[in-house]
């Protein structure tokens, strides 16, 4: 079985493992106060072209999202997000467990628009009894989104502008940030993101690390006492240096970008194979996740050799599925998949397959 079902099926980039092994016997202070973390922070600040960011390393995405959001909001405030956002659908109510509502905006492709935020904000404040409703307190976006789509620089600029006008801190979930930066269509750099967001994180778990997310807090108002929050929410790793070592490896000389580009290149090859075959794609993704709509019998067949994940039913005989590549995806596996895509035939179904 060759796995394309998600982007965390393998371990870590070999350089990271090597460094963990090499430093294993060193004695360091705990909880992220070691020099590896410090070096990683320096590299990341440079990559973001900022001098004063606070950078914290957490273990996973759900933890990073709920800790950050709980730190920013007051009890009566909620976080605005796409209806498809990870915090809205796939974190078992982690945000609500910290007391806050996720205020969802309808979205088909995973993105939200500046106008939507403005409308929600205005609707709240124009409501005579606004104190009977949850006050929007910040905005969450994911980039790339859960659907593989990305924000363009102008889209993020508009969103950022509206958020600042409304006094709503903008938080970007970058679980797959590298894959967004590597997208051919994309025109957003890390420095742009640091300039336009108040807080965001650079995902490691899905991009080369064993685990770990680097949270970058740009807005001074959001920095205070953040380490308390990490500890309280269970995210302060005792051997914090493990996170430092990983992000140091990823950012000291561009490894993060390099391996991200590989994943996207592999994904684009798969995309092209489906397109050539006449298969429709549910979302126009230029990143590491691809969402073909395929006849169910074809999926049965493909599923004997490859794993991928079921996304949603399309109609009685078709489903949307997700193929993920990652930094670790082997080119020969992709080539094998492409050959198999070429050969696909739908027997039982009258279909779009050429």
Within 46-75, the residues that bind its own copies by CB under 8 A are: 59-64, 66-67, 70-71, 74-75
> CA triplet 26, 28, 30: central angle to 5 degrees?
140
Minimum Å distance from CB 331 to its own copies? 14
Q: Which of 44, 156, 190, 236 binds its own copies (CB under 8 A)?
A: 236
The separation between the first and the last C-alpha atoms of the chain, rounded to the nearest angstrom, is: 26
Q: Please say which residue, 106 or 350, places its beta carbon nearer to its own copies.
A: 106
CB 159 within 8 A of CB 112: yes
CA nearest neighbour of 288 among 327, 319, 255, 251 = 327
- φ/ψ of residue 310, rounded to 5: -70, 130
- Span near its own copies by CB under 8 A; candidates 43-51, 185-193, 224-232, 269-277: 224-232
Residues 6+ apart with CB under 8 A from 254: none
CA 301 to each of CA 182, 292, 295, 315, 350: distance values in angstroms, whole numbers, following the listed order: 32, 15, 10, 18, 16
Judged by CB under 8 A, the residue of 35, 38, 49, 76 near its own copies is 76
Q: How far is the CB of 134 from its own copies (least distance, A)?
A: 4
Q: Residue from 46, 50, 189, 211 that binds its own copies (CB under 8 A)?
A: 211
Nearest-approach distance from CB 1 to its own copies, in angstroms: 8
How many CA atoms within 13 Å lie on the side-chain side of 352?
Answer: 15
Q: How far is the CB of 150 from its own copies (least distance, A)?
A: 22
| Sole window of 150-158, 182-190, 237-245, 294-302 interacting with its own copies (rule: CB under 8 A) | 237-245
One of 42, 113, 134, 265 touching its own copies (CB under 8 A): 134
Q: Which stretch binds its own copies (CB under 8 A): 91-99, 144-152, 180-188, 255-263?
A: 91-99
Touching its own copies, residues 277-336 (CB under 8 A) = 309-310, 328
Distance CA 240, CA 129 (A): 47
Q: Which of 27, 52, 350, 354 binds its own copies (CB under 8 A)?
A: 27
The phi and psi torsions of 100 (rounded to 5 degrees) equal: -120, 145
Q: CB nearer to its own copies: give 14 or 220.
A: 14
Q: Which of 21, 51, 347, 350 binds its own copies (CB under 8 A)?
A: 21
Radius of gyration, CA atoms only, the chain: 21
The Cβ of residue 335 has, within 10 Å, a number of other Cβ atoms equal to 13
């Amino acid at each position: 079985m060759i796995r394309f079902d998600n982007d965390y099926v393998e371990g870590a980039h070999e350089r990271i493992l090597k460094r963990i092994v090499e430093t294993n016997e060193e004695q360091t202070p705990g909880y992220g106060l070691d020099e590896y973390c410090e070096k990683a922070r320096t590299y990341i600040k440079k990559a973001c072209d900022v001098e004063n960011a606070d950078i914290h390393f957490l273990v996973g995405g759900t933890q990073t999202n709920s800790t950050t959001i709980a730190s920013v909001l007051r009890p009566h405030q909620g976080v605005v997000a796409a209806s498809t956002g990870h915090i809205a659908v796939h974190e078992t109510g982690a945000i609500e467990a910290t007391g806050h509502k996720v205020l969802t905006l309808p979205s088909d492709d995973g993105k939200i628009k500046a106008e939507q935020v403005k409308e929600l904000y205005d609707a709240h404040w124009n409501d005579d009894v606004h104190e009977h409703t949850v006050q929007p307190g910040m905005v969450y976006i994911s980039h790339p989104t859960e659907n593989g789509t990305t924000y363009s620089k102008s889209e993020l600029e508009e969103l950022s502008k509206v958020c600042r006008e409304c006094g709503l801190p903008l938080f970007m979930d970058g679980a797959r940030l590298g894959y967004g930066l590597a997208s051919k269509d994309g025109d957003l750099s890390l420095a742009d993101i640091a300039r336009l967001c108040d807080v965001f994180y650079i995902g490691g778990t899905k991009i080369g690390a064993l685990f770990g997310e680097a949270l970058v807090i740009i807005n001074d108002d959001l920095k205070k006492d953040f380490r308390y929050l990490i500890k309280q929410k269970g995210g302060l790793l005792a051997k914090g240096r493990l996170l430092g070592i990983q992000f140091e490896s990823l950012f000291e000389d561009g490894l993060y970008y390099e391996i991200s580009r590989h994943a996207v290149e592999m994904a684009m090859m798969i995309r092209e194979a489906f397109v050539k075959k006449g298969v429709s794609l549910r979302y126009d993704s230029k990143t590491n996740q691809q969402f073909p709509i395929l006849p169910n019998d074809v999926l049965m067949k493909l599923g004997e050799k490859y794993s991928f994940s079921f996304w949603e039913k399309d109609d009685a005989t078709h489903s949307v599925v997700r193929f993920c590549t990652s930094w670790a995806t082997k080119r020969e596996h992709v080539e094998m998949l492409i050959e198999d895509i070429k050969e696909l035939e739908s027997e039982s179904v009258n279909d779009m397959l050429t």
